[in-house]
Amino acid sequence: MKRKRPRAQRETSAGGVVFRRPPDGEPRFLLIRDSYRNWGFPKGHLEPGEPPADAARREVAEETGLNDLVLHGPIRVIDWYFRFRGKTIHKFCHFFLFESRRGECVPQTEEGISDCAWYSPEEARRTISYDNARAVLEQATAMVQALAHVADGSAPEQPA
């Protein structure tokens, strides 16, 4: 018999998957370490009336000090359930792909961020703490590869 979930309070947040293109050509993705010691992407609540893409940009800046961001578009929305102060929360998080040319992140400890660092796609996949964030990374990696093909005029490899 399938167990019903208790009635949940819905929350919406937004986050940014930030990448940069170093001289060696392999993209690097920005990860943060939060107050729970988990690695993931900068994200947070929307302010009243704030569009998700604007909230994602603001959260990246607040948590990492990066504000030279170029928006490349939405990645996906993920959702999960958790308990907080005795309530069941159903959280939806809109993720957006941003590019940073500066690349120097500074963890904003007043935001609960203890570290931030740039990782290759494979290193990021191994470092990220949550499966649903790994799925966001996979999609973001594909988007970055497509952007590189557009920029250099090449065609992406087709599966055999």
Summarised one tens digit per residue, pLDDT across range 128-139 is: 999 999 999 999
How many whole angstroms separate alpha carbon 17 and alpha carbon 60?
A: 9
- pLDDT cut 90: percent of the chain above it: 78
Using an 8 Å Cβ cutoff, are 100 and 66 in contact?
A: yes
* pLDDT over threshold 90, residue 149: no
Average pLDDT over residues 116-144: 97
Model confidence at 22, pLDDT cuts 50, 70, 90, reads confident
Task: Write down the pLDDT at residue 3.
Answer: 61
Model confidence at 155, pLDDT cuts 50, 70, 90, reads low
Count of alpha carbons within 13 Å of 6, Cβ hemisphere only?
A: 8
Average pLDDT over residues 14-36: 93
Phi, psi of 54 (to 5 degrees): -65, -40
Task: Write down the pLDDT at residue 6.
Answer: 61
> Which string of b and e fits 136-147 if b means at least 16 CB within 10 Å?
bbeebbebbeeb
Angle at CA of residue 28, ends 51 and 24, nearest 5°: 140
Using an 8 Å Cβ cutoff, are 129 and 137 in contact?
A: no
- Backbone dihedral region for residue 153 (phi beyond 0: left; psi -120 to 50: alpha; all else: beta): left
Q: 3-class SS at 148?
A: helix
CATH number of 9-149: 3.90.79.10
Model confidence at 103, pLDDT cuts 50, 70, 90, reads confident
How many whole angstroms separate alpha carbon 52 and alpha carbon 75?
A: 12
Measured in residues, the chain has a length of 160
Model confidence at 153, pLDDT cuts 50, 70, 90, reads low
* pLDDT over threshold 70, residue 152: no
Q: Is the dihedral of CA 73, 75, 81, 85 positive or negative?
A: negative
Task: Write down the pLDDT at residue 148.
Answer: 82
Side chain identity at 70, as an amino acid letter?
A: V
How many Å separate Cα 16 from the centre of its chain? 4
What pTM, to 2 d.p., does this model score?
0.88
